[in-house]
Homo-oligomer: A and B are copies of this chain.
Amino acid sequence: MVLNFPKAFVGALCLALINAWGAAADTSAYTVYRGTFVYLPKLNSSSTKPELTRSQGVLWVSAEDGRIKGYDWGVKDDASFQSFLSSHGWSDGSGSGSTQVQVVKSDDSQNEFFFPGFIDTHIHAPQFPNLGLFGSNQLLEWLNEYTYPIEASFGSKSDPNNTQTNPNDAPPLGLREYDEVIARTLSHGTTTASYFATIHVAATNALAALCQRHGQRAFIGRVCMDNKDQCPSYYVDESAEEGFNATKSTIDYIHSIDPNGTLIKPIITPRFAPSCSNESLDGLGQLAASYDPPLHIQTHIAETTSEVELVQQLFPESSSYADVYDKAHLLTNRTILAHGIHLTKEEWALIVKRGSAVAHCPASNSALGSGLAPVRAMLEAGVTVGLGTDVAGGYSTSILEVARQASLVSRLLSYSAEYLALIGNTTAEGTDGHEKLSPDDVLYLATRGGAQVVHMADDIGGFDTGMIWDAQLIELGAVQNKTISPLPAKPLKSLVSRAAAESATVGNIDLFGNETWQEQIQKWMWSGDDRNVKNVWVQGKLVHTRS
């Protein structure tokens, strides 16, 4: 009765194929991607509304730097493809060109398309084991009950003073958990992630090394938290200075394993204002600015109203939560501010002025009951916004799930008393509905928006020439074409399984053949999951293939 699908065997086969592929790809100067490409063109002054675009043809990527060197949407059939190859002096093995290139095709019969990789602008790697565990707490209680204990477990008993730097000295369970969160996010198409680690140097270095091993683009932040009044005694930096030294140690390690910052970059990470002394905040602002180029910065802001009140109490000299960070020179054009639900319009203006950005985390904000962020209003005020899973306040490692939640929350926004006050309306009926985020909007936030947030708008998030090939191959599956056997007047006695139908579908997406391509994308946005992510590339390298 029990059918054990031979996963281990297929897994091994996949691994072998990946390695073979990787080896083969390494010998070709270019990889030509052929088929269907879906993406969001970059917005500018003449195009302010994101619109999904589909192009069919070829696009080629240099193995040397993993960047897109050109595209040709005129290549539609095999003949024009061979002409295209010849014109470049290339061969796919069947033609006459002298230079062998690798060719990767999307399969139209399976409704496959290339899509830019997702960018997770806010994720707590050590909280991953707590995914789905948060009870009915709000933020501040949740931190004490769930979050600080799991984060503390990434320290080593043999290292009470947090002086170890060797990533292999991190606890074995922690290594396993870090390895898995990277594998999971990659499997959902996340090609870039901005990670909060913990206060521990060895484990933070391990997270960096594991991201590099998996080939995921990542910002790695050792968490700084030295305010003993607001942090648990078992999980706190001894002092601001000890925090600086530990942070510098992780920066040095990351620079040693990725000297050019090709994939892995350090990011200065004060947990949030209440966790940090003024000395720590000021020093971290200076630390970020002391590098050339300045280091990225990430922290939290205005996630809950009680947190906003706490910040007012703790920092009476500041005019707002954003002003606390600004006074410490932590609001830069490389700063990621997670959540930002309860910011004032004055804070938006300050954030825009400094060129900082907001990581919108709707799955987390709903799960913890933090509130509904007014994303459209922030965008219209000029704030840069991307998406974050906020694992494990958020219950999913998937940015596609977060995109869904961003859309859902935007459709409930007109019921929020806080939002109505913000826009000066008194009832939901008074809103015009333009606050709703469409599939195009949220997929823009998931790609281009995220790229802006991590200050890489010219490098990732789209398929423009010169950009890095951080991409995913999405497979929606074939159109349903089963035939239904005649229905009797009386019921059949024997049971019928859906096995015959299953061959056409991939995951939870059903296509019946009458969808426009835009509707196919909408079905993906609302029903897609990691089963639809067939391959993932970062910097031109294949880093994940569905098993």
Contacts and interface: CB of A to CB of B under 8 A. Distances in A.
A493 to B, nearest CB: 9
A256 B480 CA distance: 31
Interface in A128-153: 128-129, 131-133, 135-136, 138
20 contacts: A3-B545, A131-B526, A132-B525, A133-B523, A138-B433, A167-B487, A172-B483, A184-B508, A187-B498, A209-B491, A212-B491, A213-B492, A214-B496, A305-B428, A366-B411, A367-B526, A369-B436, A371-B412, A497-B544, A498-B544
A104 to B, nearest CB: 7
Interface string A61-81: 000000000000000000000
A206 interface: yes
The 4 closest A-B pairs by CB, nearest first: A132-B526, A11-B499, A369-B411, A183-B498
A423 B175 CA distance: 48
Interface stretch (A13-21, A320-328, A379-387): A13-21
B21 A14 contact: no
A447 to B, nearest CB: 19
A11 B504 CA distance: 11
A136 B522 CA distance: 12
Contact of A523 (B132, B305, B497): B132
A75 B372 CA distance: 50
Contact of A18 (B19, B168, B215, B497): B497
Contact of A498 (B131, B371, B495, B547): B547
A527 interface: yes
Interface in A367-420: 367-369, 371-372, 395-398, 404-405, 407-409, 411-412, 414-418, 420
Contacts of A407: 367
Interface residues of A, number: 123
Contacts of A543: 495
B414 A416 contact: no
A542 interface: yes
Contacts of A213: 487, 491-492, 496
Contacts of A104: 1
A15 B523 contact: no
A409 to B, nearest CB: 8
A242 interface: no
Interface string A194-220: 000000000000100110111100000
Nearest to A341: B415
Nearest to A188: B508
B256 A512 contact: no
A14 B512 contact: no
A180 interface: yes
A177 interface: yes
Contacts of A286: none
Contact of A417 (B18, B305, B416, B522): B416
Interface string A493-507: 011111111110000
B369 A258 contact: no
Given A136-B433, A412-B372, A512 B11 contact: no
A303 interface: no
A427 B436 contact: no
A472 interface: no
Given A3-B17, A210-B484, A22 B494 contact: yes
A527 B3 contact: no
A18 B502 CA distance: 15
Interface in A508-529: 508, 510, 512, 514-515, 519, 522-527, 529
Interface string A1-40: 1110101101111110111011000000000000000000
Contact of A11 (B172, B503, B525): B503
A424 interface: no
Given A483-B172, A510-B184, A418 B428 contact: yes
Contacts of A398: 508
Interface in A165-189: 167-168, 172-173, 175-177, 179-180, 183-184, 186-187
Given A14-B497, A510-B131, A502 B547 contact: yes
Contacts of A420: 417
B526 A395 contact: yes
| Interface core residue of A409, A429, A503 (most chain B CB under 10 Å) | A503
A491 B7 contact: no
Interface in A255-279: 256-258
Given A132-B523, A176-B480, A417-B420, 17 more contacts: A5-B10, A7-B502, A14-B497, A15-B497, A19-B495, A132-B526, A135-B438, A175-B487, A183-B498, A184-B508, A187-B498, A210-B487, A213-B496, A215-B496, A369-B412, A371-B428, A529-B529
